[in-house]
Amino acid sequence: MRRRGTIQLLFILPAVAWVLCFTLFPLVYSVRLSFYNARVGEPEQFVGLANYATFLHDRRAWESLGVTLVFVACGVTVQLVLGMALALLFHRPLPGRGVLRTLLTAPLFATPIAVGFLFRTIFYEEGGLANGLLGTRIPWLSDPRWALASVLLVDIWQWTPFCFLIFLAALQGIPEDYYEAARLETRSGWTLFRCITLPILMPTVILVLLLRLTEAFKVLDIPYTLTGGGPGTSTQVLSLYAYFVGLRNLNFGYASCVSVVMLILVTGMILVLFRRMRQVYQ
């Protein structure tokens, strides 16, 4: 019995070591560093909550947080709605449904860095594919509002298939008996969706919302490669601001503080969603 327990421990040891080395240690070290003045070429100096006080009065940090919240709210909402609509569409018999489903999920397998550079060429104002197809000259990457819309479009394009796949799998798990019984009372598709489909899918919706909120809040690759945070700071999300502060300005203490603030905000959202999920399951 003891030998069996030792063997089981050896099997899980690599996973434990991975978590400790690449997750727990960086997290603890980053939290510790947020209480220090840590700049390249200068000795570390404990400053307590000074970095957090700086964050409270940092106009660029608050602008980046505002951009992040707009990006998360708009992007995740559109992805959930489009993903649900596509799942409902593909849940019905369609000609070539397998091929269309494969094409629809292709963006998931693209590297975000490559996607950012690809859409950078598509959104060129002069000779770009987007303006060529539309027959107009939209300043996709040079106007602040259009630049943020461009980043949102790319993120929606890549991550809507993720929502679509999970919603489609959940739809296929709903027994058809429910709909047959409900059709004795109504033939309205909206009523069936509102009274049967949506309540059954609500735990799945909350789960997808949780996953997408977490990922969208820490997005870095697409804004960095597509716009570089510009023009100005119109697409500079909070994670990109932390990158600039830490790896360009070499102020690792304040960059760690920004990262910890992000962690607190994401953790708060997760706790709220978990509480909501618990209420749904009860």
* pTM, full prediction: 0.89
Mean pLDDT of the chain: 87
The β-bridge partners of 36 are 46
Topology annotation, domain 30-281: MetI-like fold (1.10.3720)
Q: How far apart are CA 83 and CA 150, in angstroms?
A: 19
SS3 assignment, position 92? coil
* 15 vs 217: which has the higher pLDDT: 217
The DSSP secondary-structure symbol of 106 reads: G
Q: How far apart are CA 247 and CA 241, in angstroms?
A: 10
Statement: residue 267 has pLDDT above 70: yes
Count other C-beta atoms under 10 Å from residue 107's C-beta: 16
Q: What is the mean pLDDT of residues 14-29?
A: 81
Most confident of 5-14, 34-43, 215-224: 215-224
The predicted-structure confidence for 181-198, as pLDDT tens digits, reads as follows 878 777 787 888 888 888
Count other C-beta atoms under 10 Å from residue 57's C-beta: 8
Determine the pLDDT at residue 75. Answer: 94
- Identify residue 7 by its one-letter amino acid code: I
Determine the pLDDT at residue 1. Answer: 53
Give the torsion sign (CA, 66, 68, 71, 76). Answer: negative
Residue 111 makes CB contacts below 8 A (sequence gap 6+) with none
Report the range of poorest mean pLDDT among 66-80, 95-109, 141-155, 159-173.
95-109
All structural domains of the chain with their residue ranges: 30-281
Q: What is the mean pLDDT of residues 128-149?
A: 88
Determine the pLDDT at residue 253. Answer: 92
